Amino acid sequence: RPSEIIRTIGNVFMAEEKEILTIINKEEYEALHEKLGKVFSSSKRTRRLAIQCTDTTNDELDTRIRISNKKVTLIQKAGKWKSKVREEIEIDLPNDADVVLNVFKMLRNMLRGEKVRTAVIQTDSLIFENDDFEIKLTHQFGRTDKYNAEIEVFNTETEPEEIAEKFNIPIRLPEQTAEFWDNWSKEVNFSADELLQEDLKKLIEGYL
């Protein structure tokens, strides 16, 4: 998809993003789904499992293993959460549950402390896009259900807020703090640390 590529080395991808994330409720999600479905000729669905391995005391780094429509990636976002532009690094991984589980173990072994989080994030997303921007509606589930909309622009002259206004998407920005996302995660996600290894592997296999 269109984006500004900073550097590509082998299968390592780095890019800049310009986006906003807004929290919506189930009714708003369903209304936006219907509205965008009429405006755009098609949409793409992404079924995703992400296993986060992050120290929440550091708000500049977010590392996770991500399985999107059976494609496995190690991904890291770097930069302040309050910034609209964050660096993203991706490395492709084999489509193998044992490899995914072992990479998670390696990442987990590198982190220590009470603020380390290993959230198991499950989402089902619908993506509506053109050459200038992308709107992603996401249903996140696990312990409970949550909904959000993400607007990313590829045209540097356009702001995400302009797209939100055009499509009447409520802007309800989350607090860009480790505490906010920590509480959010505890409400909706399971923790990989709390799951038996066999159960975590079965969950991974269900997305491959």
Q: Is the pLDDT assigned to residue 51 strictly greater than 90?
A: yes
Q: Which of 125, 118, 151, 119 is nearest to 140 (CA)?
A: 125
Residue 117: band (very low, low, confident or very high) from pLDDT cuts 50, 70, 90: confident
For β-strands 54-55 and 116-117, DSSP reports them as antiparallel
Round to whole Å and give the CA distance between 51 and 66.
7
Q: What pLDDT is attached to residue 195? A: 92
Predicted pLDDT at 65: 96
pLDDT of residue 140: 96
Kindly state the average pLDDT of the residues 53-77.
88
Mean pLDDT across 177-201: 89
Average pLDDT in the 81-89 region? 71
* 11 vs 166, more confident: 166
109 in the Ramachandran plot: left (φ > 0), alpha (ψ -120 to 50) or beta? alpha
Q: Which of 36-50, 78-92, 132-146, 167-181 has the lowest mean pLDDT?
A: 78-92
Alpha-carbon distance values, 48 to 92, 140, 208 (Å): 15, 10, 10
Q: Higher confidence at residue 144 or residue 183?
A: 144
Bridge partners, residue 126, by sequence: 45, 137
CA separation, residue 96 to residues 11, 102, 133 (Å): 17, 10, 33
pLDDT average, residue stretch 112-135: 91
Give the whole-angstrom CA distance, residue 95 versus residue 113: 30
Q: What does pTM read for this prediction? A: 0.76
At 208 the pLDDT is: 96
Q: Which pLDDT does position 14 carry in this prediction? A: 43
Place of tokens 């491959």: 208
- The answer, yes or no, to whether residue 30 has pLDDT greater than 70, is yes
